[in-house]
Amino acid sequence: METNFIWKERKRNALGLPWTFTKYALTDDRLFITSGLLKTVEDEVRLYRIMDLSLSQTLSQKIFGIGTIQVSSADKSMRDFEIKNIKKPRDVKEQLSKLVEENRDKKRVTNREFMGEDADFDDDDDR
């Protein structure tokens, strides 16, 4: 079975060079993270399970044109993780965000936002 990847990238070192053993790949419904040399581990998360994305770039990352995307998901095995030191991080984040929304719409999944416990909601208030 051949997988059609939309995006593939290798984690890069601090100088922006792809000399690491972590690979990232994106299909239209899943994100894969493969790591290791002697023992290879492949993790995947279904895109509709991703709850939040954020991007960070240190000064050195900006200089070398790389960045890190923080991902928060509802997946039990991969709650919060990072897509570290990748090229064109803003473009990747936007592409991933778009695919997440498309998958959530297809699966009819909603993201319920929770307010703090101190928020006072009273549905029976007749004021």
Total structural domains in the chain? 1
> Using an 8 Å Cβ cutoff, are 30 and 42 in contact?
no
What is the domain-level CATH number for residue 38? Answer: 2.30.29.30
Whether 114 is covered by a domain: the verdict is no
Whether 97 is covered by a domain: the verdict is yes
> Using an 8 Å Cβ cutoff, are 51 and 72 in contact?
yes
Question: What tens digit of pLDDT does each residue of 28-86 get?
Answer: 999 999 999 999 999 999 999 999 999 999 999 999 999 999 999 999 888 999 999 99
Whether 23 is covered by a domain: the verdict is yes
pLDDT at 74: 93
> In which domain, by residue range, is 76 found?
7-107
Q: Could you give the CA distance from residue 83 to residue 44 in angstroms, rounded to a whole number?
A: 12
**Taking the model in full, what pTM does it have?**
0.82
Whether 116 is covered by a domain: the verdict is no
